Structures are given as C-alpha cells and as structure tokens.
A and B are shown apart, each in its own frame.
Chain A
Amino acid sequence: MAEIVKENLTDREYKYGFETIIETDQFPMGLSEDVVNKIADKRNDPQFVRDFRLKAYRHWLTLKEPTWADVRYPKIDFQGIRYYSAPKSKPDGATGPASLADIDPELIETFNKLGIPLGEQKRLTGVAIDVVFDSVSVGTSHQEELAAAGVIFCSLTEAIQKHPEIVEKHLGKIVPYKDNYYAALNSAVFTDGSFVYIPKGVRCPLDLSTYFRINAKETGQFERTLIVAEAGSYVSYLEGCTAPMRDENQLHAAVVELITFDDAEIKYSTVQNWYSGDKDGRGGIYNFVTKRGLCQGTNSKISWTQVESGSSITWKYPSVILQGDNSSGEFYSVALTNHRMQADTGTKMVHIGKNTSSRIISKGISCDQSRNTYRGQVKILPSAESARNYSQCDSMLVGDQCTANTHPYLEVKNKSAIVEHEATTSKISGDHIFYMKSRGVDEEGAVSLLLHGFCKEVFKTLPLEFSIEAVKLLEMKLEGSVG
C-alpha cells in the first residue's frame, strides 16, 4: 500500500512525463554538413534558407561552447543527438500534415492528455494554437478566423514556402547566426517553429499559442520562432513546453526573434515546464535558448513574461533592443528551481533610442539543492537620451541547500539616463507557515498564499488561463519542500 502511495506521489512530480509511441521519421545521430543539407532537402528549403543554414553551420564549427554561465554540466556530445525527428505522416506530405484531420490520432490523444484539445472546443477559449512535436509543427487551429484578419500564423516551414519574402527579410536579422554558440547551432539545424505576421494596424483577434513537446529519445529540439508586428499592430503570444521523463539529458536550443515597427506591441508569454530531471539530477532538458526582440519603430513595445519551472539547466536571457525612440521593453520572470536544477536566466535591455524605457521584475525561487541565478544587463548607449530603467530582483530560498545569485550588469553612457537596480532575499520559514496555520489556513494554502504574494507582480501580466496554470505548477513543484 505504502508503495502505491509513494508511486502516486512520484507521478505527481512531473505529470507530463509520458512518452507517446508513434512512428517517427528520424535521421541517424550526428551532425555534419551533410546532415544540414539533408535537413534542407527534407524541408524543401529555398536557396536562401539553405545558404543560411550552411553559413551558420560553418561558423558554429569555429565557436567554442560558452562557459561563463553559472551552471555545471558534463560536456554535451553534439554527435550523440538526432537532429531531425518527425511524426510519420501520410506518404505524400513530406512537409507535414496538411490539416488537423491528417494527424495521427495517437498524437491528438497526447495533446488531449496534456490538456490541449486541438479541435473545436478550443474556439471557446479563443486561443489559436500551433503545436510543435519533436521537430515539426503538426497542426494549427483557427486558421480561417486569423486569415480573415490578415494575420498569418503557421509553422515556419509553411511560412518559408508560402511567404518567403517576409521570412527572408527578417530571419536571422534580430538573432544573427553569429550571435552565440547555440544560436549558430540552431540556425544550422532548425527544423520548425512558429511564424506570426500581423499586418499594419491589426489587433490580433485571438491570443496565439504554441505548444512544444520533445517526445522521441535522443533527439534535440531546435525550433525557431519569428514574430513580425507591422506598424500599429498588437499580438499576444503564448508558449508552453513539456517533455517525457528520461534518464539522459536532451538538448533544446531554440531561437525566438521578435520585431515591432512603429506603435506596434508584442506580448510574449512562456510557461516552460520541460522535464527537469529526477531528485538526484538524472535526466532532464538542457534549455539553451536565445530570445531577442527588436523595437525598431517609435513607440513600439515588447514585453516578455516567463514562468520557468522546468529543465534541468536553463540558460536563457530574453532581451530587448530598444532602437526606436520612445520604445519600451519589459521583462517579468518567475524562475523556480528544485531538486538539482540549475537556472541562469535574466534579460538584456539595450537602450539606443531617445526616451526609451525598460522594466525588469525577476522573482527567483530556489528549493532543495538547486541553483538559481539572475543575470541581467542594462546598457544605455550615448544616443539614448533620457532613458529610464528600473530593475527589481527578488530571491526566495526554500531550504538551506540551495543557492540564489544575482549578477546585474549596469552600463551607462549617457548622463540623462536614470537606472535603478534593487535586489532582496527572503525565505519561506516555518514561522510564516505557523502564523497562517494558527489563523486556520492549512499548510498548502499558506504556501500558496506566500507564493502568490511573492510572484504577484509577474503573474498579473500573464494571460488569465496561463496565470492559473502557472500558480498550480509552482504549488505542485514546491510540495514537500517547505516545512
């Protein structure tokens, strides 16, 4: 009996840990120029994409793995990873299924398990969804409604085929392939991802959402997201991620590029819950992601919100380049680490235009033996007249084995700028819990209340359904850590 109870509890730790057995179309392990070419063949890439991949691959060969982040892990064997894995579709569809009806029912079942029904019932929640399973995008809902508004929301593969002119204009412009080691790797082998184009003056009628899942063994996921918001447009985009439980580590190296023109706004929210490894740190996803937004137009705005609760290692700095005058960037983050997870995450705000402003709110919660590091850079260039930045980083330590670090980098080259940074550290102690218990709140409720209070500023920026999911996720992760 005790065994069963224990098993149930273990299951609760990561309920998305199942694996879906479906037929997949995979490449053998390893990376070479040949593999890059084969990926290009497979995806029927136009010449500019193929050139981009090859340039990136050749550049990647000259780079060394970065070591400056405050994370420790054994060296990654880049030849031990499968760079392409796709659910097998009908023989005629080399570029992925044409419609929802073509998708393997097994796969649909998987997404239902994850709580993402792709079908009609989604219309009620008003979220259009694109799903990326291992390497390819498997289906996008609500296409008609979006098309009526002129919004293009599809997989990157489809976009490359149908709208090559837009993709060519922006792909690799915000995160060039030379940017860093993992961006170069991604540029060489990216297999799919989402593409969003909001035309001039359009306010996207739905919240757009992408769901990423790594399923197959020994695969890496290298997706690439590109969002273009033309002048005066607005879009809110959500992203969620899970992966099965495995003993070995899997690599996830994604690139996200956002660009906003005059008066446009992109709101990008992530709830990241990749498998984080077991109690002893076995397995889990290495999440090495490059996310960057460019506020090119005046009065434009990019806002990142992230809830990081998974991955055995997170190495992620969603940043904003504030080029247009009066543009603004925001970064709201809750990063929770438990067991032996390591997170080195933060942001970069580069102020170039006049009157640009940025706001950074980062909340780190570390439990057990995990390491949680905030690393953020605020750079005010001489041209950024009257720039304004406010950063606040709070850490909460749960237990006495964990680590919380704060590394802000403030670089100011203009006297009219005002830059402020504040950081505090606190803990959930037995005293807090006792106080609330004495007022009739049970232990779970007490922890939940404290969490709510700590993360309120970030959660209130999340879309409603995500905000509820995020709180549940954190509560689940913290179970058993506090006392």
Chain B
Amino acid sequence: MTTFSTIQSIQEAWSVRKTGLQDTRRQTIERRERAINLALAKGIPNTRDEEWKYTSLRPLIDRQFDLIDGLRHDGGPVDGSLVARINARLAVNAIPIVFINGRLDLSWPGSEALDSDYFRTLSEAELEEDSTFWDEWQSTQGMDQLFAGINAGLAHEGVVLVLNAEQFLKRPIHIIHLATKDHPNAARINRVVVSVPELADVIVYEEFISMDVLSLKPRVGEWTNSLTQFKLGPKAKCAYYRIVSSPNSFHTGSVTAVLDRDSQLDTFSLAIGSRFARINIDVKFTAPGAECTLDGLYLLQGEEHVDHHTTVDHTVGNCKTNQLYKGILADKGRAVFNGKIYLRKDAQGSEAYQSNKNLLLSSEAEVDTKPQLEIDANDVKATHGAAIGSINPAELFYLRSRCIGEAEATAMLCHGFAEECVMKVKDDDARALLRDRVREWFKLFALTHSPSDPLTTKVIDLAARKILNEEKP
C-alpha cells in the first residue's frame, strides 16, 4: 500500500518501480527518473496554486493505493460474458486494446488484428527506441505537471502507435482501461503514445470503465493515472475520443498534442462518472494551417468532482481552435473548467473560439469556470464565453404550452443541452457511441435516484425511461 500524499512517498514508489526496471536499458531508467523529478520539482499543489484553485487533491492523496506491477494480464483467460460485454461497447469495426487493472491483455479477442507495423507495447518501444525518440515526447508542453510526470516515471505498461507516412488506419483503435473488483485499490498508471506522420490518419478511442458501471454498490475506488500523447505531422489527421465512466474511481488524466503544418486534431472528452477527475489537455501548434477541435461534456451526480484544464498554445499564425465544453450538474456535483488559449506574438491570422456552458439542476451543485484568453497578436479573431444557469423558464413554458408535461419538458431540455455538444462530432460512428454513453448516464441516474426525489430527479428518471422506451422497438 502506498499513499501519494508526499513527495517522499512518490519517490519511494519510484524506487520500487526502479527495481522492477532492472532488466531494461539504463537510459530508460534515467529518462524516467528525470521525468519524475521534473514533475516533483514544483511539489504537491494545493488550492493556493492558481492551477488548483478549485480542486483540492485531498480526497486523492489521503487514500492508499496498491501500485500495480507486472506488465501483462496473467489472470488466465477472461470470463466470456465479460468479453462479450466489453466488446459490445467497442466502436464500430474498432480493434480493441484492453488493459485489465492496468495490465495489458494481448490475448483479448479482437486484439490479434493489431499490426506490429504500427503497434508496440510501451515496454517493447522502450527497449527498441533510443533517447531521441523519447526525449521528443518528454519535451512537450504539459510534461512538467505533477500527474504527467508521475506517469512518465511510473508507467508500467502502455501503447505506442507509430504510423507510417500516408498510412490510413481504416479500423479505429479502441483502448479500454478496465477496472475489476479484484483490485479495488489499484493505482493504474498507463501511457499511450500516438505518432501520426505526414498525411496519415487515425481514430483513437480511449475509455476508462469499471466493472460496476451498472451495479449500484459503492465500493472503494481505484486510481487511474493516464498520459496520452499525440504528435501530428504535416497534413495528418487524428480524432481522439476520451470517455471516463467509472463511478467512485479517481482519475487524473493528461493529454498532450503537438500539431504540425495543416494537420487536424479533433478531441472529445466525455466524463460521465468518477469520484474525482482532473483532466489536463495541452495542445500546441508548431506550424501554420493546423486546426484543433476541443469539445467536451461532463455529466455529474452524487458528489462527483470533474475538473477540465485545457491549454491551447498558438505559437504560429493561421491556426484555428474551436472549443465547446458543456456540463450538467445534479446533486452535489462540482465541475471546474479552465480553458486557456494563448495567441502569441507570431500567431497573426489565428482564430480561437471558446465556450463553456453549464446547466445546474440542484442547489447544492457548484460550477467554477475560468475561460482565459491571452492575446499578444493583433490580427486575430478570438472570442470566449461562459454561461451558467438552470432550465430556462421560457423554454419550459414553450414546451408546456404545447401540452408537454413539466417533467418531460425538462427532460427534453436536458437532453437537448447535452446533444448540442455530441452532435458536433463529425464522425457518425463516434457520435453514435458518445450518444450511447450519454444515455447510459441518464439511465444510471434514474436507477440511483428514487422516484420520490424532488423535481430534478423525476425529470431525469423520466428522461431515462423515455430513452428505455425508445430502445424497445
């Protein structure tokens, strides 16, 4: 059992990990040590730290976790019904890569379709690639953050996807991080690295789920620390859909992306369940003409806390950022959104649009939002906006005047609110999958709240039932 409450305990965890790495190359150990030291240099942040103003690490660092060791899943063949359940969640035609409690299971049905042409495990890549390969990933923006550093130092296994130039992966890659009841206090630390060179194209799903997505028993949550990195070459295209759906779990995720000339990155972050989640997304434009979409949706209930911190750095001109984050908060949910967009001196001709909208369904819910623009260039188009409110009485009245009951009307408005974000997703399959997960949340909400609850609950309950009815045909 380890806590991650002090610098010292993280260093101890590192020395344990270091012993496990004796078989690998010395430069790997040194590189990992540098990464962890860089992140630890700033200490453990507290709420006086501007980046952590609204999110206290208390709930996470007070808890004890088992640091998972061992690279591969060795629990024997996985139960068939589980395989069926998980594979049913996969995106259309996707190739699964499954981690069970942080250990990679390469024998997972479907994973055999992975081609060694572009796919390697982290441990393989660490043996094969020299330091120039890894230094590049380490030098990207955001790697000095505590949780990115912990991951770069302690990650036990991961996925390395390096495409060839002009390679187009017809089948999306669907990475699933599954938590089972066997390791209720696991600290799962996995890294994903995706390199999309010139004219290549790939779609990546990354989903964090726990077995009790649909069971209602509260249990001690595991901690997932993930680091996902993208590097896009000229005219490369990549879509990344990220789903956190593991109630009661702790989640700290870091995403970094570096975009070259005329490349395009679309990201969607869906957070529909976690006791505590902090997601950092850092995007950097390094050459003109690139475009980035950063969308997200968070649906909170119970005492969940979800914090999104996104940073987009326009260091060059003629790039475009489009960002929309929306959230629905029920019960005692608390959401934090901080979106930073930098338009540096040389970013002339850039466009950046940012918007954050929140719907509060309960008086105990709380939203802290901080959209931020920092502009050093004068020939740019930049806007940002934020809105926080409850169900609009005028909209409700409109629907009621058309003979729709109050509860049902509210449900429709909630759905419409979430849908605005989902319908922006260009890829049909991804959109369907995300929509599916949103429905799942509404269903879960209905199941966990008794029908005698006040209006909001009834509303969501009704919404869920409406969906269940729809699904009957």
Asked if B385 is at the interface of the complex by the 8 Å CB criterion, the answer is yes
Residues of B close to A422: CB separation below 8 A: 383-385
Residues of A close to B389: CB separation below 8 A: 417-420
In angstroms, Cα B373 to Cα A418, docked, is 22
The residue of chain A having its C-beta at the shortest distance from the C-beta of B335 within the complex is: A412
A412-B374 contact given A422-B383, A424-B383, CB 8 Å threshold: no
**Contact, CB under 8 Å: A411 / B382:** no
In angstroms, Cα B385 to Cα A365, docked, is 19
In angstroms, Cα B389 to Cα A397, docked, is 32
A sample of 19 cross-chain residue pairs with beta-carbon separation below 8 angstroms, ordered by A number, consists of A395-B375, A397-B375, A405-B372, A405-B375, A406-B384, A407-B372, A408-B370, A409-B370, A410-B368, A411-B367, A412-B366, A412-B388, A415-B390, A418-B388, A419-B386, A419-B387, A423-B383, A425-B380, A429-B379
Asked if B93 is at the interface of the complex by the 8 Å CB criterion, the answer is no
- For the residues of A in contact with B, the DSSP-based class is strand
**Contact flags B124-153 to A (C-beta < 8 A → 1, else 0):** 000000000000000000000000000000
Out of A397, A414, A423, name the residue touching B378 (CB < 8 Å).
Answer: A397
A409-B368 contact given A423-B383, A425-B381, CB 8 Å threshold: yes
Residues of A close to B365: CB separation below 8 A: 415
Asked if B89 is at the interface of the complex by the 8 Å CB criterion, the answer is no
The residue of chain A having its C-beta at the shortest distance from the C-beta of B352 within the complex is: A425
Asked if A413 is at the interface of the complex by the 8 Å CB criterion, the answer is yes
**Contact, CB under 8 Å: A415 / B50:** no
**Contact, CB under 8 Å: A398 / B378:** yes
In angstroms, Cα B348 to Cα A400, docked, is 9
Asked if A235 is at the interface of the complex by the 8 Å CB criterion, the answer is no
The 3 tightest CB contacts between A and B, nearest first, are: A415-B360, A397-B378, A418-B389
Asked if A382 is at the interface of the complex by the 8 Å CB criterion, the answer is yes
**Contact, CB under 8 Å: A421 / B386:** yes
**Contact, CB under 8 Å: B375 / A411:** no
Asked if B180 is at the interface of the complex by the 8 Å CB criterion, the answer is no
In angstroms, Cα B54 to Cα A413, docked, is 13
**Contact, CB under 8 Å: A415 / B385:** no
In angstroms, Cα B380 to Cα A248, docked, is 36
Asked if B315 is at the interface of the complex by the 8 Å CB criterion, the answer is no
**Contact, CB under 8 Å: A414 / B363:** yes
A410-B373 contact given A415-B361, A415-B362, A415-B365, CB 8 Å threshold: no
Out of B345, B360, B373, name the residue touching A406 (CB < 8 Å).
Answer: B373
Residues of B close to A405: CB separation below 8 A: 372-375
In angstroms, Cα B345 to Cα A397, docked, is 12
Q: Beyond A409-B368, A411-B368, A419-B386: 20 further Cβ-contacts under 8 Å?
A: A382-B364, A397-B377, A400-B348, A400-B378, A400-B379, A404-B375, A406-B373, A412-B360, A412-B388, A415-B363, A416-B390, A417-B388, A417-B390, A418-B389, A420-B389, A421-B384, A422-B385, A423-B383, A425-B382, A427-B379
Asked if A73 is at the interface of the complex by the 8 Å CB criterion, the answer is no
The residue of chain A having its C-beta at the shortest distance from the C-beta of B50 within the complex is: A68
**Contact flags A236-262 to B (C-beta < 8 A → 1, else 0):** 000000000000000000000000000
Interface residue ranges of A313-346 to B (CB < 8 Å): none
Residues of A close to B384: CB separation below 8 A: 406, 421-423
**Contact flags B321-362 to A (C-beta < 8 A → 1, else 0):** 000000000000000000000000100100000000010111
In angstroms, Cα B451 to Cα A238, docked, is 58
Residues of B close to A395: CB separation below 8 A: 375
Asked if A402 is at the interface of the complex by the 8 Å CB criterion, the answer is yes
**Contact, CB under 8 Å: B382 / A424:** yes
**Contact, CB under 8 Å: B368 / A408:** no
Residues of A close to B345: CB separation below 8 A: 400-401
Asked if B184 is at the interface of the complex by the 8 Å CB criterion, the answer is no
Residues of B close to A410: CB separation below 8 A: 367-370, 386, 388
A403-B376 contact given A409-B368, A410-B367, A425-B382, CB 8 Å threshold: yes
Asked if B371 is at the interface of the complex by the 8 Å CB criterion, the answer is yes
Residues of B close to A411: CB separation below 8 A: 54, 366-368
Residues of A close to B367: CB separation below 8 A: 410-412
Residues of A close to B381: CB separation below 8 A: 425
Residues of A close to B386: CB separation below 8 A: 408, 410, 419-421
Out of A400, A407, A424, A429, name the residue touching B370 (CB < 8 Å).
Answer: A407
- For the residues of B in contact with A, the DSSP-based class is strand
In angstroms, Cα B385 to Cα A411, docked, is 14
**Contact flags A255-275 to B (C-beta < 8 A → 1, else 0):** 000000000000000000000
Instruction: Give B330 Cβ to nearest chain A Cβ, in Å.
Output: 10
In angstroms, Cα B429 to Cα A24, docked, is 79
**Contact, CB under 8 Å: B366 / A423:** no
Asked if A399 is at the interface of the complex by the 8 Å CB criterion, the answer is yes
Instruction: Give A243 Cβ to nearest chain B Cβ, in Å.
Output: 29
Residues of B close to A403: CB separation below 8 A: 374-376
Residues of A close to B348: CB separation below 8 A: 400
**Contact flags A113-143 to B (C-beta < 8 A → 1, else 0):** 0000000000000000000000000000000
In angstroms, Cα B391 to Cα A415, docked, is 9
Instruction: Give A361 Cβ to nearest chain B Cβ, in Å.
Output: 15
**Contact, CB under 8 Å: A420 / B385:** yes
The residue of chain B having its C-beta at the shortest distance from the C-beta of A399 within the complex is: B378
In angstroms, Cα B370 to Cα A425, docked, is 17
Instruction: Give A296 Cβ to nearest chain B Cβ, in Å.
Output: 25
**Contact, CB under 8 Å: A421 / B382:** no
In angstroms, Cα B376 to Cα A107, docked, is 43
Residues of A close to B387: CB separation below 8 A: 418-421
A425-B375 contact given A408-B386, A417-B388, CB 8 Å threshold: yes
In angstroms, Cα B377 to Cα A405, docked, is 11
In angstroms, Cα B371 to Cα A417, docked, is 19
Interface residue ranges of A380-402 to B (CB < 8 Å): 382, 395, 397-402
In angstroms, Cα B373 to Cα A94, docked, is 52
In angstroms, Cα B332 to Cα A382, docked, is 12
Residues of B close to A424: CB separation below 8 A: 382-383
In angstroms, Cα B376 to Cα A395, docked, is 11
Residues of B close to A404: CB separation below 8 A: 373, 375
Instruction: Give B209 Cβ to nearest chain A Cβ, in Å.
Output: 30
Residues of B close to A382: CB separation below 8 A: 363-364
Residues of B close to A401: CB separation below 8 A: 345
**Contact, CB under 8 Å: A425 / B388:** no
**Contact, CB under 8 Å: B379 / A425:** no
The residue of chain B having its C-beta at the shortest distance from the C-beta of A405 within the complex is: B374
The residue of chain A having its C-beta at the shortest distance from the C-beta of B369 within the complex is: A410
**Contact, CB under 8 Å: A421 / B375:** no
Instruction: Give A434 Cβ to nearest chain B Cβ, in Å.
Output: 16
Instruction: Give B442 Cβ to nearest chain A Cβ, in Å.
Output: 19
In angstroms, Cα B384 to Cα A410, docked, is 13
**Contact, CB under 8 Å: A402 / B378:** yes
Residues of A close to B362: CB separation below 8 A: 415
